[in-house]
């Protein structure tokens, strides 16, 4: 019997050695090294290729690439395709060594600064990055530096839209300092639930007229005209030397390809770590419809500094960072801001204990055909676009028609986002959301904290009708969503859109939704067109400037056991083009500000939800 046990133990150890392999990577490594812990290599790309070769050989089932402390710099994204292996369920993992915080960075540290006569500092990219043609973001000691804008924090107001209501408008004389080089300036124009970022063609100081290089607002839908929103819409201007008046404000001068920054008095650039993104994305996982990319894991990795440049004709936002993009034949279609880390046609991806920060597009995008992925215990902070995107919209074509009609089985499904912290998304593109899930099935968004956003916390669904799609059985459970809708309107803590039967919004804690900045109201939960057969249960919603819950063009749904705290004169539930009798309401606790017991009940409810969150 002892011989049998010993034989089994030897077999297990032999199998483990045969099937598992470690590769070590360090910023201080050498690519001539074997990749051991004592002699690590330096290149992430080389480590990836070594791992693929090991898996393909069939001698190793599981390969782990261990990243040492420090910044692992890349100039272009790491691209992963499905790996070949004769062994079933083979896997590849990227992990941080214990006690370390490795960073995969697409950033370029700026040096060779010189001082200008006006006291500002300048860095010429031609000396250090000949291929870098444009700069939209700058980070100083890990914090986003403000591109010089006017006004610094508030907004200007359009006096009157131009005749075409699309390309130009008039302003009041003296509203802003007229830049000497207006073609370097970017206009940031606020629509209700989206923004436009577009270059300025001309500023006519005599006529008090601003003319953009193309349309201000999307061409489709057609109602994105200048004067469709507020009577005098908000806007501000960026990237002129005349606008620099604060420490760490900066501009990019395209004609000389130089960055100019205002540093605090009696300091020099060498005292700061000044970085601009260089790589267009960081990691791209590219599977195929018939051959998904499987079983890749990232654990304990920070993803930082990825570039995204807006189209030449400008960024005309529609919603949740989808924008209107002109094609070569002058037709227009919707596109979305790409992810710094992205995947299509995948199965079983895992991102755990990771950090996504200082990114120029979306943080993490799991697009078409992504299934059974897990995003957990990770942090998303200071991201220009959405924090996380799951699934896709309706435009992709399959067999000559929209994919959700011809191939609904391709829906992104069974993906989970859990215990993540999502903060300060939409740093450039204010229509961004913390988590966007489009046409998805059985998506679970659970126990995340989402805060400090210019627009919506969680957006799920992507169909402005009651049309049947594979979107169904999604669960949004136990999330803490607060201090959102800080710049735009017509959204909420949770925004739900389109038919997605048997979905649930349960146990969520939503508060501090600001008064609407635009013309439409925002809410704790906004359930938009097509919502049917959805359960809204046991949620706590308070400190909402308008109604805690709003339905628009919805049908039969259940609202049960919720704590709804209202401001005076606002109903707990608002029904826009929705039959009130279609919304079944059961055992909801409704209190109005100023009502006896309001503060006491709210305090108890907050305590109960906080206790649940800790568990």
Q: pLDDT tens digits, residue range 122-139?
A: 999 988 898 898 999 999
Per the DSSP assignment, residues forming a β-bridge with 115 are 121
Average confidence (pLDDT) over 6-10 = 39
* Half-sphere exposure of residue 610: CA atoms within 13 angstroms, side-chain side: 7
Domain locations in the chain?
107-275, 338-614
Output the DSSP codes for 195-256: EEEEEEEEEETTTTEEEESS-SS-SSSTT--TTSSSSS-EEEEE--GGG--STT-EEEETTT
Quick one: pLDDT band at residue 5, thresholds 50, 70, 90? very low
CA nearest neighbour of 307 among 55, 105, 67, 39: 105
What three-state secondary structure class fits 410? helix
The DSSP call for residue 328 is T
Residue located via tokens 């100083």 = 140
The DSSP call for residue 12 is H
**Range of weakest confidence among 18-22, 114-118, 368-372:** 18-22
The C-alpha angle with vertex 318 and arms to 572 and 144, in degrees rounded to 5, equals: 90
User: Does 65 score more than 50 pLDDT?
Assistant: yes
CA nearest neighbour of 77 among 360, 409, 400: 360
User: Does 615 score more than 90 pLDDT?
Assistant: no
Tell me how far apart the alpha carbons of residues 346 and 20 are, in angstroms, rounded to a whole number: 23
User: Does 272 score more than 80 pLDDT?
Assistant: yes
- Reading the block at residue 514, the tokens are 């600001």
Q: Find the radius of gyration of the CA atoms of the chain.
A: 26
Assess contact for 542 and 511: CB atoms under 8 A. yes
Tell me how far apart the alpha carbons of residues 120 and 106 are, in angstroms, rounded to a whole number: 26
| Contact residues for 512 (Cβ-Cβ < 8 A; gap 6+) | 482, 483, 484, 543
**E strand or H helix at 424:** strand 421-425
The DSSP call for residue 76 is S
Average confidence (pLDDT) over 262-281 = 96
Phi first, then psi: give them for residue 188, nearest 5 degrees.
Answer: -115, 110
Mean of per-residue pLDDT scores for the chain: 94
Assess contact for 297 and 91: CB atoms under 8 A. yes
Question: What was the pLDDT predicted at 326?
Answer: 67
| Contact residues for 454 (Cβ-Cβ < 8 A; gap 6+) | 426, 430, 431, 432, 485, 486, 487, 488
What three-state secondary structure class fits 316? strand
What three-state secondary structure class fits 19? helix
* Half-sphere exposure of residue 530: CA atoms within 13 angstroms, side-chain side: 20
**Range of weakest confidence among 5-9, 170-174, 274-278, 430-434:** 5-9
Q: With 0.85 as the threshold, say if the pTM is over it.
A: yes
User: Does 8 score more than 50 pLDDT?
Assistant: no
Per the DSSP assignment, residues forming a β-bridge with 78 are 283
Residue located via tokens 């049960």 = 560
Question: What was the pLDDT predicted at 18?
Answer: 56
Sheet holding 449-451, edge to edge: 71-73, 103-105, 302-306, 355-359, 379-383, 421-425, 449-451, 480-484, 509-513, 540-544, 563-566, 589-592
What three-state secondary structure class fits 54? helix
Quick one: pLDDT band at residue 20, thresholds 50, 70, 90? confident
Question: What was the pLDDT predicted at 331?
Answer: 66
Tell me how far apart the alpha carbons of residues 99 and 272 are, in angstroms, rounded to a whole number: 26
* Half-sphere exposure of residue 253: CA atoms within 13 angstroms, side-chain side: 16
The C-alpha angle with vertex 563 and arms to 559 and 568, in degrees rounded to 5, equals: 105
Q: Pairing mode, if any, of strands 234-238 and 149-150?
A: antiparallel
Burial 272-309 (b: 16+ CB within 10 A, else e): bebbbbbbbbbbbbebeeeebbbbbbbbbbbbbbbbbe
Angstrom CA distances, 171 to 161, 286, 454, stand at 9, 48, 25
CA nearest neighbour of 114 among 105, 123, 125: 123
Tell me how far apart the alpha carbons of residues 561 and 537 are, in angstroms, rounded to a whole number: 6
Question: What was the pLDDT predicted at 519?
Answer: 79
Angstrom CA distances, 220 to 107, 217, 326, 441, stand at 35, 9, 11, 27
| pLDDT per position as a tens digit, 391-422 | 999 989 999 999 999 999 999 999 999 999 99
- Reading the block at residue 435, the tokens are 């988590």
Assess contact for 331 and 321: CB atoms under 8 A. no
Assess contact for 237 and 186: CB atoms under 8 A. yes
- Reading the block at residue 436, the tokens are 């966007």
CATH of domain 338-614: 2.160.20.10
Question: What was the pLDDT predicted at 327?
Answer: 56
| pLDDT per position as a tens digit, 291-329 | 999 999 999 999 999 999 999 889 999 999 999 886 555
Largest CA distance in the chain: 99
Tell me how far apart the alpha carbons of residues 585 and 578 are, in angstroms, rounded to a whole number: 14
User: Does 16 score more than 50 pLDDT?
Assistant: no
* Percent over 70 (pLDDT), the chain: 96
Count the neighbouring beta carbons within 10 Å of the beta carbon of residue 72.
22
Question: What was the pLDDT predicted at 312?
Answer: 87
CA nearest neighbour of 70 among 27, 25, 24: 27
Count the neighbouring beta carbons within 10 Å of the beta carbon of residue 196.
26
Question: What was the pLDDT predicted at 267?
Answer: 96
The DSSP call for residue 371 is B
**Range of weakest confidence among 86-90, 267-271, 335-339:** 86-90
Assess contact for 360 and 136: CB atoms under 8 A. yes
Per the DSSP assignment, residues forming a β-bridge with 322 are 319, 336
- Reading the block at residue 86, the tokens are 């004769």
Which has more confidence, 130 or 601? 601
**Range of weakest confidence among 231-235, 242-246, 330-334, 342-346:** 330-334
Strands (E), 432-528: 435-437, 440-441, 444-446, 449-451, 458-460, 475-477, 480-484, 492-496, 503-506, 509-513, 523-527
| pLDDT per position as a tens digit, 478-509 | 999 999 999 999 999 999 999 999 999 999 99
Question: What was the pLDDT predicted at 329?
Answer: 57
Per the DSSP assignment, residues forming a β-bridge with 532 are none
Quick one: pLDDT band at residue 7, thresholds 50, 70, 90? very low
Residue located via tokens 């960072």 = 321
């Amino acid at each position: 019997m002892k011989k049998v046990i010993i034989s089994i133990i030897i077999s297990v150890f032999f199998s483990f050695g045969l099937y598992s392999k470690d590769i070590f990577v360090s910023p201080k490594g050498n690519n001539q090294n074997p990749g051991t812990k004592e002699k690590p290599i330096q290149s992430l790309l080389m480590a990836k290729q070594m791992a693929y070769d090991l898996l393909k050989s069939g001698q190793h089932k599981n390969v782990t690439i261990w990243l040492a402390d420090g910044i692992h710099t890349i100039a272009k994204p790491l691209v992963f395709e499905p790996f070949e292996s004769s062994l079933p369920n083979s896997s590849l993992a990227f992990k941080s060594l214990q006690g370390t915080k490795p960073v995969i960075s697409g950033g370029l540290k700026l040096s060779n600064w010189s001082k200008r006569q006006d006291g500002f500092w300048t860095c010429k990219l031609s000396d250090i990055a000949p291929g870098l043609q444009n700069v939209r973001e700058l980070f100083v000691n890990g914090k986003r530096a403000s591109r010089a804008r006017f006004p610094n924090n508030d907004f200007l107001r359009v006096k009157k839209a131009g005749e075409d209501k699309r390309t130009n408008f008039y302003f009041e004389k003296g509203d802003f300092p007229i830049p000497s080089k207006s073609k370097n300036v970017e206009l940031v124009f606020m629509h209700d639930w989206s923004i436009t970022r577009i270059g300025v063609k001309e500023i006519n100081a005599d006529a008090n007229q601003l003319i953009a290089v193309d349309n201000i607002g999307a061409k489709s839908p057609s109602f994105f005209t200048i004067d469709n929103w507020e009577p005098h819409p908000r806007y501000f201007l960026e990237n002129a030397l005349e606008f620099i008046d604060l420490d760490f404000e900066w501009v990019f001068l395209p004609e000389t390809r130089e960055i100019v920054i205002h540093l605090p008095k009696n300091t020099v650039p060498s005292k700061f770590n000044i970085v601009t993104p260089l790589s267009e994305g960081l990691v791209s996982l590219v599977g195929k419809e018939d051959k998904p990319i499987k079983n890749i894991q990232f654990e304990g990795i920070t993803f930082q500094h990825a570039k995204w440049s807006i189209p030449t004709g400008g960024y005309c936002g529609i919603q949740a960072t989808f924008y209107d993009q002109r094609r070569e034949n002058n037709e227009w279609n919707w596109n979305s801001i790409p992810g710094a880390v992205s995947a299509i046609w995948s199965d079983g991806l895992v991102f755990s204990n990771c950090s996504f920060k200082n990114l120029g597009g979306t943080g993490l995008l799991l697009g078409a055909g992504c299934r059974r992925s897990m995003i957990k215990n990770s942090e998303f902070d200071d991201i220009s676009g959405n924090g996380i995107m799951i699934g896709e919209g309706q435009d992709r074509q399959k067999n000559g028609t929209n994919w959700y009609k011809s191939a609904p089985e391709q829906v992104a499904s069974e993906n989970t986002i859990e215990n993540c912290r999502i903060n300060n998304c939409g740093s450039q593109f204010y229509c961004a959301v913390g988590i966007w899930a489009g046409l998805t099935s059985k998506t679970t968004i659970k126990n995340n904290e989402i805060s400090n956003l210019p627009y919506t916390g969680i957006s799920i669904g992507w169909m402005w009708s009651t049309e049947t799609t594979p979107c169904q059985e999604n669960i949004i459970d136990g999330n803490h969503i607060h201090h959102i809708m800080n710049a735009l309107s017509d959204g909420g803590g949770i925004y739900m859109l389109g038919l997605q039967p048997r979905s649930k919004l349960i146990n969520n804690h939503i508060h501090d939704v600001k008064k609407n900045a635009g013309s439409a109201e925002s809410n704790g939960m906004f359930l938009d067109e097509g919502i049917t057969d959805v359960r809204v249960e046991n949620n706590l919603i308070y400190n909402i400037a308008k109604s805690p819950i709003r339905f628009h063009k919805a049908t039969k749904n259940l609202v049960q056991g919720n704590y709804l705290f209202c401001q005076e004169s606002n109903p707990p539930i608002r029904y826009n083009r929705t039959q009130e009798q279609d919304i079944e309401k059961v055992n909801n606790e409704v209190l109005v500000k100023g009502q006896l017991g309001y503060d006491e009940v709210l305090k108890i409810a907050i305590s109960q939800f906080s206790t649940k969150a800790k568990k």
